[in-house]
Amino acid sequence: MRKALVVGINNYPSYPLRGCVNDASAFASIIETNGDGSPNFDVKLFTDVMTKSDLKGLIIDLFSGDSDISLFYFSGHGFINDIGGYIVTPDAKTNDEGVSMDELLSIANESKSKNKIIILDCCHSGALGSAKITNGRLCNISEGVSILTSSKSDEASLEINGHGLFTNLLLESLQGGSADLRGHITPGSIYSYIDQALGPWDQRPVFKTNITRFTSLRVVPPSVPLETLRKLIDYFPIPKSEFALDPSFEDTNTLNVEHKVVEPYAKKENTAIFKNLQKFQSVGLVVPVDAGYMYFAAMNSKSCKLTALGYHYWKLIKDRRI
């Protein structure tokens, strides 16, 4: 069972925001299904939750039970003082700004869910998981907890054109920007995608986790069909071997096409293999040897070989993990 609580708050009396409800709605929509339309998370979306009590109750309900994944996403105001950080609710007042980040983490830490994921798009969100008593140098995160935040504890999180900068990148990532070749999107790959997209002068995302393996938050159609990907070990029985090519692998090398052709002419079975090898090259698994392009490697009877990434996937296939 995979469940998600998604909260976006715009309606703050003193400092209203514009993009948080839109961002929460967009996030909820995308994680409800995988890329092929199959069900993913059972999502509860709440906008403009008005009180700390209501928000805390929703969080407690989310992390109760023993789900496979319990995911909490929040977009709104964040606040930090000498005691710690807070996700702010509209009823905030001095010394009671909202749900304490320490309390949020404590609820997640005590949850029986196998994976607890917290994503915050708010100012000072990086304070989550860093105890003030240690000046933020230590994290208290139970096994199975992952935290992804839009900024460090001393940074603001920006809205641009009515949308959160962080959540825009998060949505791009979930649409497939951070998927591996199998189509899996994990908290780690999301962080890597956002980290690379933001420069040294931008707000810096924070990722904290205590897990033994990543879980997929969403699956999209793979860059290379899995049945094709598994042929990698057929074409390269030994990782360091090269796959010999010749003109028979190039489907345009036929007398039916008006251009110079060379023997051996295109063979149907070889051109099918070559198309797969070209797919592998397009995603960085294979490179031509002594040729700039796969076409010239074939026409000049050269070869192709696995890249380091290609070897990684070769080993996954060989070990029956794909």
Is the pLDDT score of 136 beyond 60?
no
Rounded to whole angstroms, how far apart are CA atoms 165 and 234?
Answer: 44
pTM for this model (two decimals): 0.88
Is the pLDDT score of 22 beyond 60?
yes
At residue 253 the predicted structure's pLDDT band, cuts being 50, 70 and 90, is confident
Is the pLDDT score of 149 beyond 60?
yes
At residue 137 the predicted structure's pLDDT band, cuts being 50, 70 and 90, is low
Rounded to whole angstroms, how far apart are CA atoms 134 and 279?
Answer: 51
At residue 263 the predicted structure's pLDDT band, cuts being 50, 70 and 90, is confident
At residue 135 the predicted structure's pLDDT band, cuts being 50, 70 and 90, is low
What pLDDT sits at residue 131? 64
What pLDDT sits at residue 252? 84
DSSP state of 4: E
At residue 4 the predicted structure's pLDDT band, cuts being 50, 70 and 90, is very high
Q: What counts of helices (H) and strands (E) characterise the chain?
A: 10, 16
What pLDDT sits at residue 200? 83
What pLDDT sits at residue 133? 44
At residue 158 the predicted structure's pLDDT band, cuts being 50, 70 and 90, is confident
Q: Quick: pLDDT tens for 73-127.
A: 999 999 999 888 999 999 999 989 999 999 999 999 999 999 999 999 999 999 9
Average pLDDT over residues 2-26: 95
The amino acid at 73: Y
What is the average pLDDT value for the chain, to the nearest integer?
Answer: 92
At residue 129 the predicted structure's pLDDT band, cuts being 50, 70 and 90, is confident
Q: Looking at the chain, how many residues does it have?
A: 322
Is the pLDDT score of 134 beyond 50?
no
Distance of CA 281 to the CA centre of its chain: 23
- Coil, strand or helix at 91: strand
The maximal CA–CA distance of the chain, rounded, in angstroms, is 83
- Kindly state the percentage of the chain with pLDDT values over 70: 96
Average pLDDT over residues 200-212: 91
Residue with tokens 């140098």, as numbered in its chain = 137
Q: How many CA atoms lie within 13 A of 306 on its CB side?
A: 20
The amino acid at 58: L
- Coil, strand or helix at 222: coil
Among residues 130, 43, 117, 141, the alpha carbon closest in space to that of 83 is found at 130
At residue 257 the predicted structure's pLDDT band, cuts being 50, 70 and 90, is low
Structural domains of the chain, ranges and CATH numbers in brackets: 2-219 (3.40.50.1460), 226-318 (1.10.10)
Is the pLDDT score of 161 beyond 90?
no
Rounded to whole angstroms, how far apart are CA atoms 306 and 104?
Answer: 46
Rounded to whole angstroms, how far apart are CA atoms 121 and 187?
Answer: 15
At residue 218 the predicted structure's pLDDT band, cuts being 50, 70 and 90, is very high
Rounded to whole angstroms, how far apart are CA atoms 264 and 171?
Answer: 49
Average pLDDT over residues 153-176: 90
Rounded to whole angstroms, how far apart are CA atoms 232 and 250?
Answer: 19
What pLDDT sits at residue 166? 95
- Coil, strand or helix at 155: coil
What pLDDT sits at residue 315? 95
Is the pLDDT score of 6 beyond 90?
yes
Q: For residue 242, what are the β-bridge partners?
A: 305
Strand order in the sheet with 42-47: 42-47, 2-8, 69-75, 115-121, 145-149, 206-210
DSSP state of 181: T
Task: Report DSSP letters for 253-317, one per residue.
Answer: -STTSSS---SSPP-HHHHHHHHHHHHHHHTTSEEEESSSSHHHHHHTT-EEEE-HHHHHHHHHH
- Return the beta strands (E) in the chain as ranges: 2-8, 42-47, 69-75, 78-80, 85-93, 96-100, 115-121, 145-149, 159-160, 163-164, 184-185, 206-210, 218-219, 242-244, 286-289, 303-306
Average pLDDT over residues 41-45: 98
